[in-house]
Amino acid sequence: MTYYDPKGSLGPAAGVTSVATKSCGKTMRIHRDGKTTTAKVVDKCKGYAGDSINVTKAVFDDLADLNLDRVQVTREWA
């Protein structure tokens, strides 16, 4: 899991090409080291493959220190 600023270069305000999928609008529970938070899926970046997710700083901060760039998490649909 990594994080981004929704108003920054990778957020919706930047015009980054994303794809609406059937997952959009759904909520997922994200777990790390005994902590859990929830997040709403808003898009999937076009051309992005893989198992990683990008979340807002607020969601990332719920689970890990913002000084970390990437952390391992588990997730499930809420």
4-55 pLDDT per residue, tens: 887 776 555 445 556 667 888 899 999 999 999 999 998 877 666 677 899 9
Rounded Cα–Cα distance for residues 26 and 23 (Å): 6
Strands (E), the chain: 2-4, 18-19, 27-32, 35-40, 44-45, 54-56, 74-77
Find all residues with CB under 8 Å of 56, minimum gap 6, and list them: 3, 4, 5, 6, 39
DSSP code per residue over 20-33: --TTTT-EEEEEET
Q: Is the pLDDT of residue 74 over 70?
A: yes
